[in-house]
Amino acid sequence: MRLLINLSSTYQISSDYFNKYYFQSSLYSFLINTNFEDLHNNKSFKFFTFSDFFPSGDLLEGGTKSIIVSSPNKDFINTLHEKMLEKGYIYLLDKKIDIKSLKIYEISWLPKSYETGSPIVLQMDTKLNKYFSFRDNGTITFFLRRIKENAIKKYKTYYNLEDFSFEETIFDSLMFKKEIVINLQKSGKKFIMIGSMWYYLNKNYIPKKLSNFYKFILDSGLGEKNSLGFGFLNPRRIRAT
């Protein structure tokens, strides 16, 4: 399930404020005094993600900027919607921004082709804080293996499954778009992450036994640090030529 959040402002706001840490902090503030108020303290998977803000750049006076939050947990999305509707604005650091409109929706079909709405992040070495990068000996084989392992682990945890696996690759074809260096700031400290954007990630055939798994990754995101707004997926519509 998804929540489309449209934001507006009566004054111009720099793109620097549309920071993933700032938005994540704002999300958590809406969960206070709800069933999800302890979510930020959970050291395991949090089972939600969000897109990059769009369009990119500054939010101009009278303009609109949007973001989509996605989760397999419908209660989470409904709670967020209720609290945001009640409040009518969000804070990104010290900037108060009006919520212009909210829309809950669900992708009712099972896509076989996906595109990224935020970078997919994978750590190659946690001790060295080293992220997957094609420029640093990263390979397609490693990428596909790791996103599959990570997705299966999250799926088993969410549904409390002891046994779930499949032999085939998670995607049959994919097209790389670009690699992104993400500069983040939290509590005065700066962090750098590397993520990858993809034009498409295709699965030619999804058997019935895996349909729920692919619906899950569409809702929860791919790769790591999903709750910080990474690995967000959109269904890719195939346009007729």
> Is 81 annotated as catalytic?
no
CA distance 215 to 111: 8
CA distance 236 to 241: 15
Q: Which residue shows structure tokens 């690699």?
A: 179
Sorted by sequence, the CB contacts under 8 Å of residue 164 that are 6+ apart come out as: 152, 155, 156, 213
Question: For residue 155, how many other CB atoms are within 10 A of its CB?
Answer: 19
Phi-psi label, residue 228: left if phi above 0, alpha if psi -120 to 50, beta otherwise: alpha
> Is 205 annotated as catalytic?
no
Residue of 40, 91, 158, 200 marked active site: 40
Residue of 17, 28, 91, 158 marked active site: 28
Catalytic site positions: 28, 40
